[in-house]
């Protein structure tokens, strides 16, 4: 599933880094913490690899 915003893509990248052991899990906050716990490495890779071009910084509530 691709990221819908740049913020979501960045959070997925942080969660993926922690899941792989490159970053301490204690450094995660907010969405990245819950993503790391609830998503597989494959799902995080897919979301983190989404291009940020033409993505809003935050998804609107529409």
What digits encode the pLDDT tens for the residues 26-46?
999 999 999 999 999 999 999
Please check the confidence at residue 3 and state whether its pLDDT lies above 90: no
Report the pLDDT value the prediction gives residue 61, as an integer from 0 to 100: 66
The encoded tokens of residue 59 equal 């998804």
Strand, coil or helix: 61: coil
46 to 12, 50, 61, 62: CA distances (angstroms):
9, 7, 23, 24
**pTM of this structure:** 0.83
Please name the residue ranges forming H helices in 1-62: 6-20, 30-38, 41-48
Distance between CA atoms of residues 41 and 9, nearest Å: 14
What average pLDDT is seen over the chain? 90
């Amino acid at each position: 599933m691709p990221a819908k915003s740049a913020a979501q893509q960045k959070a997925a990248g942080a969660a993926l880094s922690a899941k792989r052991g490159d970053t301490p899990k204690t450094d995660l906050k907010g969405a990245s913490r819950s993503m790391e716990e609830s998503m597989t490495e494959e799902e995080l890779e897919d979301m983190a690899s989404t291009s940020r071009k033409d993505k809003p910084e935050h998804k609107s509530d529409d």
